Amino acid sequence: MSGPDSKDRAYHLAERQKSGRGDYLEALLAPLAIEQRAAILDLGCGSGYVNEYVAARFAPVRNLGLDYALATVELARELTKAQGPVFFCASAEQIPLPDACAGHVIGRVVLPYISVTRAVREIARVLKPGGTVLLSLHPWTHYAAWLSLKPWRWRKTAAALLLLASGAWFAVTGREVHPAIGSHRVTQSFQTASRMRKLLLASGLEVYRVIKKREFLIYARRL
Q: Which residues bind ligand SAM (CB under 6 A)?
A: 15, 19, 43-46, 66-69, 72, 91-93, 108-110, 113-114
Residue 41 or residue 92: which is nearer to ligand SAM going by CB? Answer: 92
In the complex, the smallest distance separating the C-beta of residue 122 from ligand SAM, rounded to whole angstroms, is 10
In the complex, what is the shortest distance from the CB of residue 188 to ligand SAM, in angstroms, rounded to a whole number? 10
Min CB(118)–ligand SAM separation in Å:
9
User: Nearest distance from residue 150's CB to ligand SAM, in Å?
Assistant: 26
Shortest reach from residue 109's CB to ligand SAM, in Å: 4
Listing DSSP states for 102-165 in one string gives EEEEEEES-GGGS-HHHHHHHHHHHEEEEEEEEEEE--HHHHHTT----GGGHHHHHHHHHHHH
**27 CB-contact burial (10 Å; exposed 0-12 / middle 13-18 / buried 19+):** exposed
Minimum CB distance to ligand SAM smaller for 9 or for 195: 9
Task: Give 32-46 as a DSSP string.
Answer: G-PPTT-EEEEET-T
Give least dist CB 8 to ligand SAM, A.
7
Q: Which is nearer to ligand SAM, 108 or 222 (CB)?
A: 108
Q: In whole angstroms, give the CA distance from residue 29 to residue 172.
A: 30
- The dihedral of CA 53, 54, 59, 65: what is its sign? negative
163: Cβ contacts below 8 Å, ≥ 6 apart: 143, 186, 188, 189, 190
14 or 223: CB nearest ligand SAM: 14
C-alpha to C-alpha distance for 44 and 106, rounded to whole angstroms: 9
Task: Using the minimum distance from each CB to ligand SAM, give the nearer residue, 138 or 221.
Answer: 138
Looking at the Cβ atoms of 37 and 212, the one nearer to ligand SAM is: 212
Cα–Cα dist 77/96, whole Å:
19
